[in-house]
Structure 1
C-alpha cells in the first residue's frame, strides 16, 4: 500500500511556517544578530514583525548600523567619527543597554560619554586603547574609576586595556557583581591584591603585571577559580608563592605566561618540584609557557611550540592528594 499523505492544517493555510513561530523564539533568534541584520532580514515583512523589532532592545555597531533602533541592548563604537551619533541618542534608547564596547576614542570623549548617562544597568564593558592617552592619566583614571564603580550595581564582566591607573581608595569598599576581570596592565602583585580586596565574587581573572613588588600582600577573600597571569621576566618563584598563598585559595585552572626580555630568560625557570611546592592546592589544570620574541628563540635555541603533557600530584589537604594535568612549554620544559 502507498503512504497516505496528510493535508496541511487549515490554520496554516496562507502563511509560512516561519510566521507561526512564537515571539519568544523570534526574540531568541534576534539575540544572535546585530540591529542592521535584523532590519535587513525581517524588516517590513509584516506588521507583527515590525512591532516586535521596534520594541526589542538590539545589538548596535555604529560602524554598520544605518538605522538606530528604538532601544539598544549593546553598543559598539570604534571610531571618533561615531561619537556625534552617540550624543544624538535619546536617554530612553539607552535605558535597556547591557553591553558597551569602546575603542580607539579620545579620552575626553570617553569621559564625556560616561558622565552624561549613569549606566547602572550595564553588565559588560570593554574599554580599548585610547587615543592620546599617554599624557592624560588623570582623565584615564577618572574613566576607569567610573567603569569599575559600576561593579556595585550590575557590572559582571570588565576588560580594561592599557595601564590600570585607578586609586583603590576611590573605589567603593565592595564591588560584589564583578565576576570576570581582564586587566592588561596592573602595576604589581601588591596593587592587584588591593584591587581584588574590593571584589569578593570574582571567578575569572586575566591580568598582565608590569613590575615586581617588595611590599607585603594583604590576604584576600575572593573566589577566583580561573586565573591567567602574564608576568614580567623579573618575577620570582617566591613572589609568585606569596600571591598564591594570599589570593588564590580557590583557583582550579591556572595559566602562567612569562614574558622574556632581550638576552634574559625568566626567573621562573625552576624544576617541577619547585612548582609543586607553590601551586594552590585546588589546582586541577596548569599551563606554563613563555612569551618569547623571534630573536630570543634563536639566541636560546628554543624549539617553538614544543609542549610536554604531564600529570602531577598535589596535596588537596593534610590527608588527601589529587592529580593535576599540566602543559609545559619551552623554555620551562628544559628544566621541568
Structure 2
C-alpha cells in the first residue's frame, strides 16, 4: 500500500483528468489499493457506472463491493437489466445502493420482465438527477403497471430533472389526463400508442404548446421544451 510508483510524479489535477475518462469498473480494477495517495483521490472523484449486456455477474459484484463506500460519488449510470450470465442487474444495484448524487441515469430493459420498482422508489429521492432515460427494445419487457407508475412519477413529480426519455410504448389515453409537467423540463421524449385521429396535439400535456409528428397508429412524440 505504501510502495512508490511513477504515478506519484503526476499532480492530483492530472489524476482527476485521467479518471474522468474512465468508468468505475476500470478505476476499481486498475487503481484500487495501488497506494495511499491514489486511494485518497479515489474517495473524491465522480464515478460513472456502466454495465453492458456483455458484462458478467462477477464484474457486477465487484463493482457493487466497492460501491459500499463510493455510492455517493456516482453521478452517472448506464445499466442493462440483463447481462451475459445474470438478469435483474438494475434491481440488484438500485436495491443495494443509494445513489444520492446521481445526475444522469440510463436504463435498458432488455429482458422479460424488467422490474423497476426500486428505481421508481429511488427517483422520488434523487434531488440532483438531471437526465433520466429508460429504453425498452421489446414492448413487453416492462409491465403495464410499472410503465404507468414510472411515467406518472417522471411527468408529475416535481424534481430537478431537465431531460426525460421514456422509450417504451405508452397508451395516449392514460397520459392525456395529466394536468401539468415540471416547468424545468428542457427535453422530453415519449413513445405513445393510439389512433392519430383520437389524439389532440396540444392536449397530451396541456401546459406544453409544442407540436409533434405522428407516424401511423403508433407514433413517436418528441418535445423540445424551452424555458
Per the shorter chain, which TM-score range? 0.5 to 0.7
What is the alpha-carbon distance in structure 2 between the residues aligned to residue 180 and residue 144 of structure 1?
A: 15
Equivalent residue for 1:90, pick from 63, 86, 97: 97
Asked if 1:46 is matched to 2:53, the reply is no
User: 8 Å contact 1:186–1:208 — kept in the other structure?
Assistant: no
What is the aligned partner in structure 1 of residue 120 from structure 2?
A: 114
Asked if 1:160 is matched to 2:156, the reply is no
Change (3 A) 1:174 1:47: same
SS in 2 for 1:76: strand
**Unaligned residue ranges in structure 1 (runs of 5+):** 1-13, 213-219, 225-336
User: Could you tell me how far 1:135 is from its partner in structure 2?
Assistant: 9.2
The correspondence of residues 184-195 of structure 1 with structure 2, limited to 5 A, is 184-185=191-192, 187=194, 188=196, 190-195=199-204
- Look at both structures and tell me which one has the larger radius of gyration over its CA atoms: 1
SS in 1 for 2:177: helix
The RMSD of aligned alpha carbons is 3.8
Q: Normalising by structure 2, report the TM-score.
A: 0.66
**Unaligned residue ranges in structure 2 (runs of 5+):** none
SS in 2 for 1:181: strand
Change (3 A) 1:108 1:134: closer
User: Could you tell me how far 1:208 is from its partner in structure 2?
Assistant: 5.6
User: 8 Å contact 1:176–1:199 — kept in the other structure?
Assistant: no
What is the alpha-carbon distance in structure 1 between the residues aligned to residue 214 and residue 166 of structure 2?
A: 11
User: Could you tell me how far 1:18 is from its partner in structure 2?
Assistant: 6.7
User: Could you tell me how far 1:54 is from its partner in structure 2?
Assistant: 2.5
What is the aligned partner in structure 1 of residue 133 from structure 2?
A: 126
User: 8 Å contact 1:114–1:143 — kept in the other structure?
Assistant: yes
Asked if 1:101 is matched to 2:106, the reply is yes
User: Could you tell me how far 1:84 is from its partner in structure 2?
Assistant: 5.0
User: 8 Å contact 2:131–2:164 — kept in the other structure?
Assistant: yes
Q: What number of residue pairs does the alignment pair up?
A: 196
What is the alpha-carbon distance in structure 1 between the residues aligned to residue 94 and residue 141 of structure 2?
A: 25
The correspondence of residues 5-154 of structure 1 with structure 2, limited to 5 A, is 16=6, 19-23=9-13, 25-62=14-51, 63=55, 64-65=59-60, 66-68=62-64, 69=67, 70-71=70-71, 72-78=74-80, 79=82, 80-91=87-98, 94-103=99-108, 104-106=110-112, 109-118=115-124, 119-129=126-136, 133=140, 136-149=143-156, 152-154=158-160
Equivalent residue for 1:183, pick from 190, 194, 200: 190
What is the alpha-carbon distance in structure 2 between the residues aligned to residue 56 and residue 98 of structure 1?
A: 14
User: Could you tell me how far 1:155 is from its partner in structure 2?
Assistant: 1.1
